[in-house]
A and B are shown apart, each in its own frame.
Chain A
Amino acid sequence: MLPAGLVRFLTEIAEVTRFTTKFFREILRPRFEFAEFLRQCFFIGYKSLGLVAITAFIMGLVITIQSRPTLVEFGAEAWLPKMVSVSLVREIAPVITALICAGKIGSGIGAELGSMKVTEQIDAMEVSGTNPYKYLVVTRVMATILMIPILAVLADAVSLYGAYLGSNIRGVVSWDLYWNQVFATLTYSDIMPSILKTFFFGFAIGIIGCYQGFNSKKGTEGVGRSANAAVVISSLLVFIIDLIAVQITDLAGLT
């Protein structure tokens, strides 16, 4: 006999898997809720822009300032833009974006769908001739899948700008030289895998938020728990996906 905790865990995994496969089934069926999708894109993408931009800017600035002393020690100060741009584009900007979104969007979706669940709004949709999975889940997950990569690209740009300012706090790197060095350093194998993985980050954040919301237990406590679980699980998933992505790019020889 399996321990009760393991049974619960495996059941949960099975439920998440079923919920996820349903996404792929439903997205192929006709009637895509385009208006709702746009609305969700606005909330998920546009409304997170400020937060993502501020975080990315600070990360770019801070990473640059922190990396400088070590490079100076080796007399390799001129390598600052190269080193910082690679770490920002490959890793920091996409992961920071995903984590911010896991926090903001994941909890938002978890709480919104959770409260819709407990106040029977999801059932109400179903009796109003609407497939709630399509209307609520597919639109949100599609929105996170498409918006997080865009946010990540913008975060790349903003964090590189932050790094530019960071390089100029103690040293002098001209605007032209900075961007020249950045683009001479970056290659497609830096950008492509890092953008590609953000699609998966988006999918994980969206689907976990929706799953937690849809399976919210009755009462306000259940809603809170859904929001919390959405953040915790999607943040963890972001790191796991990142780990897998790094392994794959490494195996593909793109490092």
Chain B
Amino acid sequence: MANQTSKNIRLGAMVIAGTALLIIALYVIGDKQNLFGSTFRISAYFQNVNGLMVGHNVRFDGIDVGTVKNIEIINDTTVKVDMAIELESQKFIHKNALASIGTDGLMGNKLVNITPTGVPSPQVEEGDILKTSEPLEADDALRTLTQTNADIAVIVSNLRTFTDQMSSPNSVWSVLTDTAASENIKAILVNIKQTSSYTALVAAELNAIVSDVQSGKGTLGALITDSTIATELNQTAANIQLISDSLVYFTADLQSISDRLLSGEGTLSTLLNDTTLAVNLTETIQSARNGASDFEESMKALQDNFLVRHYFKKKNKMLEKERKHID
């Protein structure tokens, strides 16, 4: 009988160990999916959820804080996404945080990113609806870059006409030939040409990557969801966007100058005496230079890791742009 008891004890220990392991595993998995523990619900309305599904993760500042609980079509342009968020994260998420749909790695799962805006606001509460920013697809990024490129091409041709006129010996413009201004304008041209060729390069490379991904070829290395690389790529992509934007900005300045010169509205005297214009021109040249060097840096970064990640936040970009304006 004692023998039987010891057998039963060993059997019992085994059964308990097996059952306990199963329960622990189920609990840990459930915990990862926020099935247990206290959560609260918030929602966001998207125009397009890009294949997001129930169960996908919700990230705040890059940390998994919850899961998507429900996706519901409200009308032809609105999809409501309900998210269960860990209660512990509630105090960090503010009412003005932005929700966007992103991807975990190039080919990974979809997820909802919640990004803080940095602007003070009360913390979120149960049932709150977050503002959203639509995900920027790789195609969109390309479109912007190509547009910028086209703009630059127009300006470059304008500027060329402008400098041709200036360098003509018979023209009054020859006065300006040896001046610093003329040098500067030439420098702009060089920079802008360079910039535009870089932009074209980026566009081509992005294009190649996107088509690779779309054809399912995609370098397997890109499957690694390494957050460091992801961040770097994000940064690079943001930079390109930023530069494109500033290019558009100073392109517009140059456009107005050259427009005025070409339309004959601005005479020589006007050109020489109008200090505002001179200041503007100098500034423009300066920012064009900055832009060009920034761009070069970004290109280097891009070439270092050319797995361009295309999701980045519009809001971030806008903030950056604003800061640029203020600077």
Direct chain A–B contact by Cβ atoms under 8 Å: yes
A183-B29, A183-B32, A188-B29 known; A41 vs B21 contact (CB < 8 Å) = no
Please indicate the chain A residues that have their CB under 8 angstroms from the CB of B221 in the complex: 74-76
Please indicate the chain A residues that have their CB under 8 angstroms from the CB of B15 in the complex: 41, 45, 150
Answer yes or no: A157 CB below 8 A from chain B CBs: yes
Answer yes or no: B14 CB below 8 A from chain A CBs: yes
Residue of chain A at shortest CB distance from B226:
A78
| Bound-complex Cα distance A49 to B7 (A) | 14
Do A153 and B224 have beta carbons less than 8 Å apart?
A: no
Answer yes or no: A233 CB below 8 A from chain B CBs: no
Answer yes or no: B123 CB below 8 A from chain A CBs: no
Of residues 73 through 104 on chain A, the ones whose CB sits less than 8 Å from some CB of chain B are 74-76, 78-79
Please indicate the chain B residues that have their CB under 8 angstroms from the CB of A191 in the complex: 22, 25-26, 29
| Bound-complex Cα distance A42 to B5 (A) | 11
Number of interface residues of B (CB under 8 A): 26
Answer yes or no: B187 CB below 8 A from chain A CBs: no
Answer yes or no: A237 CB below 8 A from chain B CBs: no
Answer yes or no: B213 CB below 8 A from chain A CBs: no
Distance of A140 from chain B, by nearest CB (Å): 15
| Bound-complex Cα distance A150 to B25 (A) | 13
A187-B29, A188-B29 known; A79 vs B224 contact (CB < 8 Å) = yes
| Bound-complex Cα distance A250 to B121 (A) | 47
Do A151 and B18 have beta carbons less than 8 Å apart?
A: yes
Residue of chain B at shortest CB distance from A186:
B29
| Bound-complex Cα distance A46 to B25 (A) | 22
Please indicate the chain A residues that have their CB under 8 angstroms from the CB of B220 in the complex: 74-76
Do B10 and A42 have beta carbons less than 8 Å apart?
A: yes
A42-B8, A75-B221 known; A183 vs B18 contact (CB < 8 Å) = no
Do A39 and B7 have beta carbons less than 8 Å apart?
A: yes
Number of interface residues of A (CB under 8 A): 26
| Bound-complex Cα distance A35 to B30 (A) | 37
Please indicate the chain A residues that have their CB under 8 angstroms from the CB of B223 in the complex: 74, 76, 79
Distance of B192 from chain A, by nearest CB (Å): 38
Answer yes or no: B157 CB below 8 A from chain A CBs: no
Answer yes or no: B89 CB below 8 A from chain A CBs: no
Answer yes or no: B11 CB below 8 A from chain A CBs: yes
Answer yes or no: B163 CB below 8 A from chain A CBs: no
Number of A-B contacts (CB under 8 A): 70
| Interface of B: prevailing SS | helix
Distance of B18 from chain A, by nearest CB (Å): 4
| Bound-complex Cα distance A78 to B229 (A) | 14
| Interface of A: prevailing SS | helix
Do B30 and A188 have beta carbons less than 8 Å apart?
A: yes
Selected contact of B224 from candidates A49, A75, A150, A154, CB within 8 Å: A75
Distance of B65 from chain A, by nearest CB (Å): 14
- Residue interface bits A165-183, CB-to-B below 8 A is 1, else 0: 0000000000000000001
Answer yes or no: A207 CB below 8 A from chain B CBs: no
Distance of B54 from chain A, by nearest CB (Å): 13
| Bound-complex Cα distance A46 to B10 (A) | 7
Of residues 175 through 210 on chain A, the ones whose CB sits less than 8 Å from some CB of chain B are 183-184, 186-188, 191, 195
| Bound-complex Cα distance A151 to B19 (A) | 10
Please indicate the chain B residues that have their CB under 8 angstroms from the CB of A76 in the complex: 220-221, 223-224
Selected contact of A187 from candidates B10, B22, B33, CB within 8 Å: B33
Answer yes or no: B272 CB below 8 A from chain A CBs: no
Please indicate the chain B residues that have their CB under 8 angstroms from the CB of A38 in the complex: 7-8, 11
- Residue interface bits A42-65, CB-to-B below 8 A is 1, else 0: 100110010000000000000000
Please indicate the chain B residues that have their CB under 8 angstroms from the CB of A79 in the complex: 223-224
A74-B220, A183-B25 known; A46 vs B18 contact (CB < 8 Å) = no
Do B22 and A153 have beta carbons less than 8 Å apart?
A: yes
Please indicate the chain A residues that have their CB under 8 angstroms from the CB of B7 in the complex: 38-39, 42, 46
Residues of A within 8 A of B (CB): 38-39, 41-42, 45-46, 49, 74-76, 78-79, 149-151, 153-154, 156-157, 183-184, 186-188, 191, 195
Residues of B within 8 A of A (CB): 4, 7-8, 10-11, 14-15, 17-19, 21-22, 25-26, 28-30, 32-33, 219-221, 223-226
Q: List 9 A-B contacts (CB under 8 A).
A: A42-B10, A42-B11, A45-B14, A49-B14, A76-B223, A153-B22, A183-B25, A183-B28, A186-B29
Q: A78-B225, A79-B223, A191-B22 are in contact. List 9 more A-B contacts (CB 8 A).
A: A38-B8, A41-B11, A42-B7, A45-B14, A46-B14, A74-B223, A78-B226, A188-B30, A195-B22
- Top 8 closest pairs, chain A to chain B, by CB: A74-B220, A75-B221, A150-B18, A153-B18, A42-B11, A42-B7, A153-B22, A183-B28
